Structure 1
Amino acid sequence: MHIKLLFILSFAMLFSCNTGDKKTQKEAQSNQSKDVTIKNHSYGNIDKIRTAHLHLELNVDFQNQILAGVARHKMINEGANRAIFDIKDLKIDSITLGAEGNEVSANYEVGKRDSLLGSPLIVELTKNDRFVNIYYETTKNSEALDWLAPELTGSKKHPFLYTQGQAILTRTWIPVQDSPENRFTYSADLKVPSDLMALMSATNPTVKNDDGLYSFQMKQPIPSYLLALAVGELEYAQLGPKSGAYAEPHMIAAAEKEFKDIPQMIEAAQKIYGDYLWDVYDVIVLPYSFPFGGMENPRLTFATPTLIAGDGSLVSVIAHELAHSWSGNLVTNASWNDFWLNEGFTVYFENRIMEAVYGKEIADMLALIEFQELESSVNEMMSSGREKDTHLKLELQERDPDEGMTDIAYVKGAFFLKTIESKVGRETFDQFLSSYFNAYQFETLTTEEFVSYLKSNLLEKENVDFNVDAWVYGEGIPDNVVKIKSDRFEKAEKLAIEIKNEDELPAEFTSLSRDDKITQEWIAFIRAFEGKLAKEKMIKIDEQLNFADCGNAEIMSEWYILGIKNNYTEIRPEIKAFLKKVGRRKFLAPIYTTLASTDETLKWGKEVYKEARPYYHAISYKTVDEILGVKY
């Protein structure tokens, strides 16, 4: 009761005291911002002063679709006379210095806005100042925030909000030094509508508070892109002693069933690389507009509902996000040029978890699907003059770091590690990686630092000659990449070739049901047509297997692409319904890219997109805008 009373008073006083004098903001002609430098997509001067702990006090206003309140930064000051934060499309009301209750107005300036990076927020202080309090509001242009109207949720009764900060969007909802190099702890006090539950990448409730007041703590230091918030009509289901699932009421039972193996995954992961250091591992199933398969926010993975396939066939995404608890969250890339250190390790570790829980045959099929996608990405990049983008170490200066979120970082990175494992042996490699995670836990590092560690602690130690530079700084896929085979894949591909080349469907196919093969086998089957299959045969396959409306987004998206390429217009209603429902960029980008390949399909694609775009997060619609060449 005492805590809640203080909480209510803090919100009541938020905009009535200590908000400072608006005149303390300097005029635009000030020269301060001329001295600001950009490092790793951030204006923050973290080499001189950096956030050690962030406390948020925010009101979640669904009616006006804004977050309003204060970000209180407790900082480590190495003698700086100014602190520089990243902001983009935030309204700064005032800034104060000093601990709460003892605040004084600060002089500050908002520098020139860059369309990608936003603006530097420059706050004057003295070398003795440790506390910077930024009173602010988000705006309609805050790209991290996805405000969903009730009709876009399961019950159609309540609105929903979630954030997506990676890579550099946290600055659009919190004024922060938005660089992965800076790790800090955080806490938060939130006021939300009383009929909704609030969750963050921190300690979380499992039941709704009737007063709409929530408090959060994240005691482990994290980079800013892992700060996350979700508010909606949510229920919780416990899966194990350290894990549970949140979802909207209509989906909670399905989520509980789909993710039942998470406790086994946690156990398997810990056996390989050591203790899970984030206390609990929960998953929240978000509405369909969520742009990714999953996001590894610590303690609370954000997941797309497209993972709910009914048969557990897509839970490798959950294994991936769990693996991030070591690679990415525990040990973090120092810059977005080093993104493969997050994702390559995670894909490798994901595959190890899947092998431990479901067996090597399943893990190998998952790896083969990913390798097919890597080969396709490499071929496209090499043929379009983007050879440098096939390097593991990227060059993303003055580019959107989202451009580095490709199969190169994920799958080439994983196969780099798989290939090293094949040379040194799994036991030796596991010992090396375990020591690596232990040596750098809760720290960041660059590619160069990892390569040095790799050579000193593994390759030289084991007297192994390995072409590290060719993998890290070279183009394409090196010739010594480890090879993976799958008899089940080969059978699926052989069946597809027979269907393609013969007049009648083979007897083997006519006796099949969709349950006879797992998702990855059907993907291999569809891809084996290499983009060409007579429409009449696609109709017959659909009559038997109903790929077009099977409910499995992985299979449906592959089938839709094949259908668009072969003028299978009969499934346009299903494609349209899918594009208006699902906001996951992994599916949207290839479907819309295929639609853009001819004038006729492009015209239809633009018509669908005009209706579907309001259902997408900014991350997805910005990508599709570019694919279709449209502006809104």
Structure 2
Amino acid sequence: MRISAAASVVSLSVLALACSRNDQASEPEPSASDAPGVEQEASWPAPTAADIRDPFTYANYQDVRVTHVDLDLAVDFETKTLTGTAELDFERLSDDVSALVLDANDLNIEMIETHADGDWVTTSYDLGADDDIMGSRLEIALPDGADKVRVTYATSPEAEGIQWLSPEQTASGEHPFLFTQFQPLLARTMVPLQDTPAVRITYDARITTPPELIAIMSARQDPTGERDGDYSFRMSQPIPSYLLALAVGDIEFQAINDHIGVYAEEYILQASAEEFEDTPKMEEAMERLYGPYLWDRYDLIVLPPSFPFGGMENPRLSFMTPTLIAGDKSLTNVVAHELAHSWSGNLVTNATWRDAWLNEGFTSYVENRTMEALYGEERAVMERHLDKASLMRDVQEAERPALTALKMPADLAHPDDAFSQVSYAGGMFFLKFLEERFGRDAFDAFLRSYFDEYAFQSITTADFLSYFEDHLWADQPQAVTKEEIDAWVFEPGFPDTIEDPQSDAFERVSAQMDTWLGGGDVSGLQTSEWTTHEWLHFINNLPEDISIDQMSALDGQFDLSTSQNAEIANAWYLKAIKASYEPAFEPLDAFLIRVGRGKFIYRLYQALVDNGRREWAQSVYERARPGYHPIAQRRIDGIMAG
């Protein structure tokens, strides 16, 4: 059992911010539960510094904390840089603070000034050596009375958090495109700041661009504003730095309702609006369960195919992959996931990446509940069934057992390691376990109170456990044991109490598969009513020893090698690689060139390497790499290097 000090009850909530409920200047002391019926030993151990401190930041945020950032940046596609200033407001949490320590990564700093008594004065600073993961430590001297710093700087053309696309890499072929992706620690490649989820900031921004392009950010903006190359933004709610987001390009807008709409390149705008037209219903379902949406507008932008993720929950403006546009709304659970982050992740945030399940597990749970509310229990069960299969695969393939516990280990090598299905599906199944033990009505009320209690704060796993102990477990002390909670949160793998989602629809698919594999004709497969989920179940469960003739029969009947549904195509290509089904390799080549979504391409390249196709994979990658996001390039470089 791995409990030790991992269960912190110390909150890393932003202190003294207007939207925060906690205005103290020091961390609260952990308290044991005095709830009736819960024995004293049920409380978890007191925290250590390793539980409280985010190890992936240089920032001295426990002594001085940035509260607001004012950006004034010019976009230069010729040099692939952003140039300008970042003005940071901060508050001192310690009386003897003499320096502000920030995170920076490949920033070219020209000058730093401090503000005191109405004047800006140049100050000294030290920019440390570059670390491959964390970038550089930027220490700025703070004279007495200083309340702001202003950094004049430029980003690097190689900034990992910013992708610059040439006109040829866009659909129109006429204009360049820029978009950012900062989770988990790449905001420091665009702005010098305290780049940790433990610190929440508000921000204003002025972005200047070529006049024919539009800039949009994760902040308040006018979706009908003129294209004049000068754009202003305001984010009034405090957010963690990884939720800063910027996109610049030849982008159009289409409204879905009065406060939800879609941005995209013209070629995909109408299809995207139609695909995402149920987003208002998703918002309504979430509000009924978990309280009002607190971010005003909710828009989405469909990015070019090189975007490395399914979606990114930037507040007010979720970034989405074009691979979701399937034409039948079968992949819109990703929209539900990003919208759900408006409660779990954006509103209540993990304070360190060791606690990533607080963001992703809660969000996956809310997503699944929303799918059930909109499309019925059968779809929700199918999605949980597929999620569990992915979870078990990730647990089996994990490099270290410690990476298969919800609470990540203190020696986590990189925050990316926390973003497996362990945090997503594993966290969801833990909350599903609690829902089953305490009852849905009680658990829904608890979750709503949890979101209210920690709104606009950053917390740890132990904050959740403490709140759970006092506000749910205390009312039903016999519902679970401490040993069961420990097994879910702190121990590697997942306990036997994990749900086994059984789908009648999948059983019918399996029955058809068995009939066909037993000698039936492929034309006897009745697939006209199958959803994407049923196709995935069918393809994923094809036998390992499937013959080339059987693959060919399926492909000839259903055109799987050229499927326009990216999820189905990806599942088929994985089977084709293992079976050495040659007719799939030409369309696979085109898929890898066209699609940059990591969920697909990482596993495909790995499968190619593992199945004796390294040279073929390398030849494709050499052509595809320039169009991939730097995050994807780094991951696939590692795969190719073995």
Shift of 1:77: 1.9
Does the C-alpha gap of structure 1 residues 140 and 176 become closer, same or farther in structure 2, counting only changes over 3 Å?
A: same
Asked if the contact 1:77/1:129 (under 8 Å) is kept, the reply is no
Quick one: distance in 1 between partners of 2:141 and 2:491? 44
Q: Does 1:549 align with 2:565?
A: no
Residue pairs, 1:503-518, within 5 angstroms: 503-505=519-521, 508-509=524-525, 512-513=526-527, 515-518=528-531
Quick one: distance in 2 between partners of 1:127 and 1:457? 44
Asked if the contact 1:202/1:217 (under 8 Å) is kept, the reply is yes
> Any idea what the Cα deviations from partners look like across 1:455-487, whole Å, max 9, x if unmatched?
221122212224110000012111111232111
Quick one: distance in 1 between partners of 2:514 and 2:53? 53
Structure 1: which amino acid aligns with 2:64? Answer: I
Quick one: distance in 2 between partners of 1:396 and 1:305? 36
> Any idea what the Cα deviations from partners look like across 1:24-70, whole Å, max 9, x if unmatched?
xxxxxxxxxxxxx9843000011111111100000000111100000
Quick one: distance in 2 between partners of 1:182 and 1:38? 11
Quick one: distance in 1 between partners of 2:514 and 2:118? 73
Structure 2 equivalent of residue 48 of structure 1: 63
- Which of 474, 491, 499 is equivalent to 1:460? 474
Quick one: distance in 1 between partners of 2:195 and 2:117? 23
- Which of 587, 597, 600 is equivalent to 1:574? 587
Quick one: distance in 2 between partners of 1:477 and 1:67? 45
Q: Does 1:154 align with 2:143?
A: no
Quick one: distance in 2 between partners of 1:476 and 1:398? 17
Quick one: distance in 1 between partners of 2:549 and 2:191? 54
Asked if the contact 2:64/2:92 (under 8 Å) is kept, the reply is yes
Quick one: distance in 2 between partners of 1:497 and 1:238? 46
Shift of 1:178: 0.3
Q: TM-score, normalised by structure 2?
A: 0.89
Shift of 1:208: 5.2
3-state SS of paired residue (2:309): coil
Asked if the contact 2:577/2:611 (under 8 Å) is kept, the reply is no
Shift of 1:530: 4.2
Structure 2: which amino acid aligns with 1:605? Answer: A
3-state SS of paired residue (1:282): strand
- Which of 597, 610, 613 is equivalent to 2:610? 597
Quick one: distance in 2 between partners of 1:273 and 1:58? 37
3-state SS of paired residue (2:284): helix
Asked if the contact 1:59/1:191 (under 8 Å) is kept, the reply is yes
Quick one: distance in 1 between partners of 2:332 and 2:275? 8
Deviates more, 1:41-50 or 1:457-466: 457-466
Does the C-alpha gap of structure 1 residues 398 and 312 become closer, same or farther in structure 2, counting only changes over 3 Å?
A: closer
Residue pairs, 1:161-200, within 5 angstroms: 161-200=178-217
3-state SS of paired residue (1:622): helix
Structure 1 equivalent of residue 36 of structure 2: none
> Any idea what the Cα deviations from partners look like across 1:104-152, whole Å, max 9, x if unmatched?
1010010122111011100001242111001110112210000001111
Structure 1 equivalent of residue 142 of structure 2: 125
Shift of 1:209: 2.7
Does the C-alpha gap of structure 1 residues 566 and 545 become closer, same or farther in structure 2, counting only changes over 3 Å?
A: same
Quick one: distance in 1 between partners of 2:581 and 2:117? 64
Residue pairs, 1:166-245, within 5 angstroms: 166-207=183-224, 209-245=226-262
Residue pairs, 1:29-178, within 5 angstroms: 39-78=54-93, 79=95, 80-98=97-115, 102-178=119-195
Does the C-alpha gap of structure 1 residues 572 and 58 become closer, same or farther in structure 2, counting only changes over 3 Å?
A: same
Quick one: distance in 2 between partners of 1:388 and 1:590? 22
3-state SS of paired residue (2:328): coil
Quick one: distance in 1 between partners of 2:639 and 2:516? 32
Q: Does 1:339 align with 2:356?
A: yes
**Percentage identity across paired residues of the two chains:** 42
Q: Does 1:535 align with 2:548?
A: yes
Shift of 1:441: 0.3
Quick one: distance in 2 between partners of 1:134 and 1:608? 42
> Any idea what the Cα deviations from partners look like across 1:418-446, whole Å, max 9, x if unmatched?
01101111000000000000000000111
Count of aligned pairs between the two proteins: 586
Structure 1 equivalent of residue 637 of structure 2: 625
Asked if the contact 2:155/2:189 (under 8 Å) is kept, the reply is yes
> Any idea what the Cα deviations from partners look like across 1:260-299, whole Å, max 9, x if unmatched?
0001011111000000000011000000000000000000
Task: Mark the runs of 5 or more structure 2 residues left unpaired by the alignment.
Answer: 1-51
3-state SS of paired residue (1:270): helix
Shift of 1:491: 1.5
Shift of 1:498: 3.5
Asked if the contact 1:497/1:529 (under 8 Å) is kept, the reply is no
Structure 2 equivalent of residue 16 of structure 1: none
Quick one: distance in 1 between partners of 2:543 and 2:106? 44
Q: TM-score, normalised by structure 1?
A: 0.91
3-state SS of paired residue (1:43): coil
Shift of 1:550: 1.5
Quick one: distance in 1 between partners of 2:246 and 2:73? 11
> Any idea what the Cα deviations from partners look like across 1:332-383, whole Å, max 9, x if unmatched?
00100000000000000000111111111111111111111111111222xx
Asked if the contact 1:498/1:506 (under 8 Å) is kept, the reply is no
Q: Does 1:561 align with 2:561?
A: no
Q: Does 1:253 align with 2:270?
A: yes
Structure 1: which amino acid aligns with 2:294? Answer: L
Task: Mark the runs of 5 or more structure 1 residues left unpaired by the alignment.
Answer: 1-36
RMSD of equivalent CA atoms = 1.6
3-state SS of paired residue (1:531): coil
Shift of 1:154: 1.1
Quick one: distance in 2 between partners of 1:507 and 1:248? 39
> Any idea what the Cα deviations from partners look like across 1:595-632, whole Å, max 9, x if unmatched?
01133x111111101111111101111111111217xx
